[in-house]
Structure 1
Amino acid sequence: MAGGLAALLDDVAALVKLTAASTDDVAAAAGRASAKAAGVVVDDAAVVPQYVRGIEPKREFPIVWKIAKGSLLNKLIILVIILILDWLLPASLTPLLMLGGLYLSFEGAEKVLEMFGLGHHAEEDDKPAVVQGEEAEKKVVSGAVRTDFILSAEIMVISMNSIAADAGFGLKAITLVVVAVLITLLVYGAVALLVKADDFGLRLMEKDSAGAQKFGRGLVDAMPKVMKVISVVGTFAMLWVGGHILLAGFDTLGWHWPYGLVHSIEHWFEHFVSGWFGSVVLWLVETICSMIFGFIFGTVIALVVMNLPKKKKAAH
């Protein structure tokens, strides 16, 4: 243990030097990590706006800001935990990531089932989060931050797994901090724009210019559709990311045939496509297979979870 601690301290001592010498490495690693976490980021951006529905417009920005700070704190806490796990028990990251992938698959499958009227959708989920007083606002923020914690955990673990295994402690730490800050700014900046877009449209409708009024009306009418599209994209992104995590995780743990089947399908398509178009087709094949795999696993869990309340009632 002393040797491991000494090595860790050496890495920490070299952190400043590493930062100066490896800016490009950090940027590249952060870019790869952010790209790998893109599916969860889309879902995060789709989930958060629901927490400011029905809230007085002047309180929307302050609430989004509070949730953003909570989200960043979530990521930094998770960052410390996964760095410790990577140092002491690196083998635990794959099962941990797979648990998150299973959760994402469950969430995505549950939403798909709800689209077809097969899911269990609580009525309170459809009620706007109307804030009445400081205590109610705290409940809204704490609820959003709790939901964000799970998504943030996925983002950070995915990011950690995308960094080269032989990277030093300093590079990993800096990369994860950059990812945490950038993704939080990206998600909550987008959320802030989304929740205020309709207010901006209403202001434009009050202008004297007919063009401004028309654009404002179009913006107000478009926002519900935009939010619906984001929600659908987020759902399929969860299935894609969750399914891919499970496929790769099973392959790492020695259960090779699921991912082998996907590779076999990709090889079959390789006989018919080539060049950049072939690369796009192969990416789509892998993505669709991941979605299907995620949906299968997620549906099994969703059906079990949805039937738990019925069993409890029957028991009573």
Structure 2
Amino acid sequence: MASGFFAVLDDIAVLLDDVAMMSKVAAKKTAGILGDDLAVNAEKASGFASTRELPVLWAITKGSLLNKLIILPIAFLLSAFFPVAIKVILILGGIYLAFEGTEKIYEWIFPHPKHEDLSKVENENDILVLENSRVKAAIVTDFILSVEIVIIAMSTVVAKPISTQIIVVSTIAILATVGVYGIVALIVRMDEAGFYLIKHSKKEKSFKQKLGNILVQALPIVIKALAIIGTIALLLVSGGIFLHNIDWFHHFLPTLPNLLREFIVGILVGFASVILFKLFLKVRSLFKSK
């Protein structure tokens, strides 16, 4: 009886050790997408009145949790009964990430007007409409990024028992949501913390006042920096997906460092996908005009 009990404990210890190790691997592989997720949601949740920033962020967080609840069971079923789909979805997601990263670069080079017309925001109802549109857009983007996070995490444990897969992937999904939106909450409240320090500083040019000014001035810089870092991360993650899952890319530019190879492959695939998408839009507009 005692030996059986200790054998069970030993099995649990082995499982937990395996889960911890695989969770670290999965976390490293999904870190790039989390960077973009962070940048997107910091941008979506900022720009509102201070009293509305956290409610908007909470609404996006709830949508993100719902996304994970939808995606996780589907991912586990595919892994159990149709594992080849994991690789297919991974590559398709890689194309999307490359497209999104390259399109951001394209927009920086050839800027175009934003869809939101803030001049029409005149009353409380308009503000709520704008909030809802941003929340919906953020949740849709989060759904796509969540699919990639789950699939990339799944790809690291696809050969493991289903119990390990469920624990590891669910852990990564929860940490991704809590971690990303917790950091976003801190970022969007930077200016408020800065104003608080400035208001409560007793002396002119005191440490509190200087720190408050830094926090206020840093917020737009941090959001812009996150956008740049997120774009680079998208291209690196997508390039890594192609290098590790498509045989032809295994021998592409083998003398270069892996990080540079991933970036080049990501931007090449992204550039090709952006061109094809633009051509598709032009062809569709020609057919509509006839």
TM-score in same-fold range (> 0.5): yes
2:102 to 85, 104, 109: 109
Distance in 2 (alpha carbons) for counterparts of 1:149 and 1:170: 24
Distance 1:143 1:84, change over 3 A: same
Aligned to 1:151: 145
Structure 2 counterpart of 1:171, which letter? T
Distance 1:56 1:143, change over 3 A: same
Aligned to 1:170: 163
Distance 1:217 1:129, change over 3 A: farther
1:94 to 62, 87, 90: 87
**Cα deviations across residues 159-190 of structure 1 (Å, max 9, x unaligned)?**
0001251x211111011111111111110011
Aligned to 2:212: 216
Aligned to 1:300: 272
Aligned to 1:23: 16
Give the unaligned 5+ runs of structure 1.
1-15, 267-284
Aligned to 2:43: 50
Distance 1:18 1:194, change over 3 A: farther
Distance in 2 (alpha carbons) for counterparts of 1:79 and 1:312: 35
Question: How far has the Cα of 1:221 moved from its partner?
Answer: 1.2
Distance in 1 (alpha carbons) for counterparts of 2:20 and 2:120: 38
Aligned to 2:255: 265
User: Do 2:57 and 2:185's aligned partners in 1 also have CA atoms closer than 8 Å?
Assistant: yes
Alignment of 1:179-198 (within 5 A): 179-198=172-191
Question: How far has the Cα of 1:115 moved from its partner?
Answer: 2.2
Distance in 1 (alpha carbons) for counterparts of 2:242 and 2:133: 34
Alignment of 1:216-295 (within 5 A): 216-251=212-247, 256=248, 258-262=249-253, 264-266=254-256, 285-295=257-267
User: Do 2:63 and 2:139's aligned partners in 1 also have CA atoms closer than 8 Å?
Assistant: yes
Q: What secondary structure sits across from 1:261 in the alignment?
A: coil
Distance in 1 (alpha carbons) for counterparts of 2:60 and 2:281: 31
Aligned to 1:77: 70
Q: What secondary structure sits across from 1:54 in the alignment?
A: coil
User: Do 1:51 and 1:129's aligned partners in 2 also have CA atoms closer than 8 Å?
Assistant: no
Structure 1 counterpart of 2:261, which letter? C
**Cα deviations across residues 3-28 of structure 1 (Å, max 9, x unaligned)?**
xxxxxxxxxxxxx9976652222222
Question: How far has the Cα of 1:248 moved from its partner?
Answer: 1.7
User: Do 2:194 and 2:215's aligned partners in 1 also have CA atoms closer than 8 Å?
Assistant: yes
When the two chains are superposed, the root-mean-square deviation of aligned CA atoms in Å is 2.6
**Cα deviations across residues 219-257 of structure 1 (Å, max 9, x unaligned)?**
111221111111111001100101111222212xxxx3x
Question: How far has the Cα of 1:135 moved from its partner?
Answer: 5.3
Aligned to 2:5: none
1:161 has 2:155 as partner: yes
Distance in 1 (alpha carbons) for counterparts of 2:214 and 2:80: 53
User: Do 1:95 and 1:249's aligned partners in 2 also have CA atoms closer than 8 Å?
Assistant: no
Structure 2 counterpart of 1:29, which letter? M
1:202 has 2:195 as partner: yes
Bigger shift: 301-310 or 104-113? 301-310
Give the unaligned 5+ runs of structure 2.
1-8
1:124 to 115, 130, 137: 115
Distance in 1 (alpha carbons) for counterparts of 2:279 and 2:261: 27
Distance in 2 (alpha carbons) for counterparts of 1:20 and 1:65: 36
**Cα deviations across residues 99-156 of structure 1 (Å, max 9, x unaligned)?**
0000000011111122222x6x452158599794455543332221111000000000
Aligned to 1:13: none
Percent of counterpart pairs with the same letter? 36
User: If the length of structure 1 is used for normalisation, what is the TM-score?
Assistant: 0.79
User: If the length of structure 2 is used for normalisation, what is the TM-score?
Assistant: 0.86
Distance in 2 (alpha carbons) for counterparts of 1:87 and 1:128: 51
Structure 2 counterpart of 1:286, which letter? N
